[in-house]
Amino acid sequence: MDLEFYGAAGCVTGSCHVLRYGGKKILLDCGLYQGKDERERGNNIFPFNPKEIDYVILSHAHIDHSGRIPLLYKMGFKGEVICTEATMDLCSAMLRDSGFIQEMEVEWKNRKRIRQGLDTIEPLYTAKIAELSMYLFRGYKYDKFIELFPGFKIRFKDSGHLLGAAIVEIFMQEEQEEVKLVYSGDLGNINVPILKDPTIIDYADYVILETTYGNRYHGNITNQLEKLATIIKNTISRGGNVIIPSFAVGRTQEVLYCLNKYVESNFFKNVKFFVDSPLANETTKIFERHTEEYDEEAKKLIRKGDDPLNFSGLTFVDSVEKSIQVNKIQRGAVVISASGMCEAGRIRHHLKHNLWRKESSIVFVGYQAEGTLGYKILNGEKKIKIFGEEIAVNAEIHRLDGLSGHADRQGLLNWVDGFKNKPKCILLVHGEKEVQESFKEALESKGYNSKIMQLGDLFNGKNIFNEDKISIKDKIIKRIDSYEKIHKDNIDELIREIRTIIEKSE
């Protein structure tokens, strides 16, 4: 077994790890970099040949885990994408939407480039390519053993992070004994609406573990829900609107579930609720097709005939024209819109119309990657640019970590403590540097052996080899070899890569 870490290693987004076993190359996730990670690392190249990948094992549908699968397909991958049934259904909507966003952003950039006399550029992939890549997907149920090839089998366990999200158990036969690698994917928070708590795994030899909130405690989720309801009530009473940037898949449905209870108890008066995201509208329907994955509380509501994702006064906005009409509402509106980090989609229009208003509130209910528009607003910038226009940040800004889909520090530690015997090594990914260092200390205080994985690290079950130890000459030769195989025509990217290698060595 050999592992190579190429995404969410030394950063949060872009999950992508290469597992080599039995002459096969298997990707654990293939996600998009976002925010600062995208600017520093880029999304348009892979440090391996996509044609040589045999399988992608996909933990869940979020774009930072799945978003480069269409690019992988575009560059020659013809293997299989193995995931849960719900993940496959969500990806059919999310990847197509991602392709559409890629097309729209490149179209906007190309208009500027043409005016500047520059050559046009292509999107990473299109909506059509995303649709075609779905032919490679294979969906399975939780708890089922799946043998991909002799000596290699996997099993999905519910991670409690998103509908269909999975912890991946990987069983490999090595020299008369079985080696078990567990990939956490993203672990969910406990007591999250709709979803079950993360599955406790009984044993593992090695664990790849996410650490997104490894230094933070979310607090009581009930208190967070009460706070959300109070924010809405107070904002409406002073004549403003509430804007909730929300991930279209997962977080939007959880927020709707929470608001449903307050609406039905008549807590709100004269409030109109809007979900303004075509992707959220589509994926909410997918949620309603997979009620078998709900937790027991949500199932009880359904058995009583209550739709927990819909209620009186809620409108799913289905067109640009209707979205424009929502922007004209001056008071009494709660708008849930994507994207969750405010980087694309209709949320930017709602922010443009409300961010400068002292009577309005912006409520963040999910992680904001460094460098994103949401991160800038949340971290106190007084003015931000939206569509080239400078907007003052006068609205009240709120952050509700308790609604996070990720386990906090204690949740991660509790999950690790669920193993009957301590794993030989826990490999830490998907986290910011200071967060991972803090969590590593916590693990070591409990007697666990752990390592923080960096971009280019190689792990063979015994040792970790860091690409930083490779000579500058060897790094450049390696990059040139890679580009000659799969990026022949993109000389600009090759030059950028070489410059990055040299700058980091100085």
CATH number at residue 371: 3.40.50.10890
> What domain count does the chain have?
3
| pLDDT-based confidence at residue 491 (cuts at 50, 70, 90) | low
In this structure, are 211 and 226 located in the same domain?
Answer: no
In this structure, are 364 and 311 located in the same domain?
Answer: yes
Torsion angles phi and psi, residue 188, rounded to 5: -80, 160
Per DSSP bridges, beta strands 177-183 and 166-174 are: antiparallel
In this structure, are 414 and 398 located in the same domain?
Answer: no
Asked if 162 and 61 touch (Cβ cutoff 8 Å), the reply is yes
Torsion angles phi and psi, residue 483, rounded to 5: -70, -35
Q: How far is Cα 78 from Cα 61, in angstroms, rounded to an integer?
A: 19
The more confidently predicted of residues 504 and 442 is 442
In this structure, are 25 and 6 located in the same domain?
Answer: yes
Q: Which residues contact 495 (CB under 8 A, 6 or more apart)?
A: none
Of 37, 31, 42, give the one whose Cα is nearest residue 496.
42
The distance from CA 28 to its chain's CA centroid, rounded to whole angstroms, is 14
- What pLDDT is attached to residue 36? 85
Q: Stretch 157-169: mean pLDDT, rounded?
A: 97
Tokens for 350? 């709602």
Q: How far is Cα 155 from Cα 197, in angstroms, rounded to an integer?
A: 18
Map residue 4 onto helix, strand or coil.
strand
Is 475 a residue whose pLDDT tops 50?
no
pTM: 0.85
In this structure, are 23 and 82 located in the same domain?
Answer: yes
In this structure, are 386 and 451 located in the same domain?
Answer: no
Q: How close are the terminal C-alpha atoms of the chain, in Å?
A: 34
- What pLDDT is attached to residue 372? 87
| pLDDT-based confidence at residue 342 (cuts at 50, 70, 90) | confident
Q: Partners of 451 in the beta sheet?
A: 427
Of 113, 212, 204, 202, give the one whose Cα is nearest residue 161.
212
| pLDDT-based confidence at residue 139 (cuts at 50, 70, 90) | very high
In this structure, are 262 and 329 located in the same domain?
Answer: yes
- Count other C-beta atoms under 10 Å from residue 304's C-beta: 7
| pLDDT-based confidence at residue 247 (cuts at 50, 70, 90) | confident
Q: Which of 361, 376, 403 is the last residue of a domain?
A: 403
Least confident segment among 103-117, 180-194, 222-236, 468-482 = 468-482
Is 188 a residue whose pLDDT tops 90?
yes
- What pLDDT is attached to residue 125? 96
- What pLDDT is attached to residue 382? 93
What percent of the chain lies above the pLDDT cut of 70? Answer: 92
Mean pLDDT is highest, among 83-92, 114-123, 238-247, for 83-92
CATH of the domain at 80: 3.60.15.10
In this structure, are 337 and 228 located in the same domain?
Answer: yes
- What pLDDT is attached to residue 275? 94
Q: Tell me: the pLDDT tens digits for 365-420?
A: 877 878 889 999 999 899 999 988 999 999 999 998 777 788 999 999 999 999 99
Helices (H), 221-319: 221-237, 251-264, 278-289, 296-303
Q: Which of 354, 376, 403 is the last residue of a domain?
A: 403
Measure the CA dihedral 65/430/337/97, to 10°: -20
pLDDT, averaged across the chain: 89
Least confident segment among 230-239, 337-346, 478-487 = 478-487
Least confident segment among 19-33, 47-61, 83-97, 209-223 = 209-223
In this structure, are 274 and 334 located in the same domain?
Answer: yes
Q: Tell me: the pLDDT tens digits for 29-45?
A: 999 998 888 888 889 88
Q: Stretch 423-436: mean pLDDT, rounded?
A: 95
Tokens for 382? 């007084």
Q: Stretch 156-166: mean pLDDT, rounded?
A: 97
Q: Which of 365, 381, 403 is the last residue of a domain?
A: 403
Q: Stretch 67-83: mean pLDDT, rounded?
A: 97
Is 255 a residue whose pLDDT tops 50?
yes
What percent of the chain lies above the pLDDT cut of 90? Answer: 69
Q: Tell me: the pLDDT tens digits for 113-128?
A: 999 999 999 999 999 9
The more confidently predicted of residues 187 and 246 is 187
In this structure, are 189 and 260 located in the same domain?
Answer: no
Q: Tell me: the pLDDT tens digits for 438-456?
A: 999 999 999 999 999 998 8
In this structure, are 413 and 399 located in the same domain?
Answer: no
Please tell me the total number of residues recorded for the chain in this structure.
506
Provide the residue range defining the domain that includes 346: 221-403
In this structure, are 210 and 253 located in the same domain?
Answer: no
Q: Partners of 172 in the beta sheet?
A: 152, 179
Asked if 72 and 50 touch (Cβ cutoff 8 Å), the reply is yes
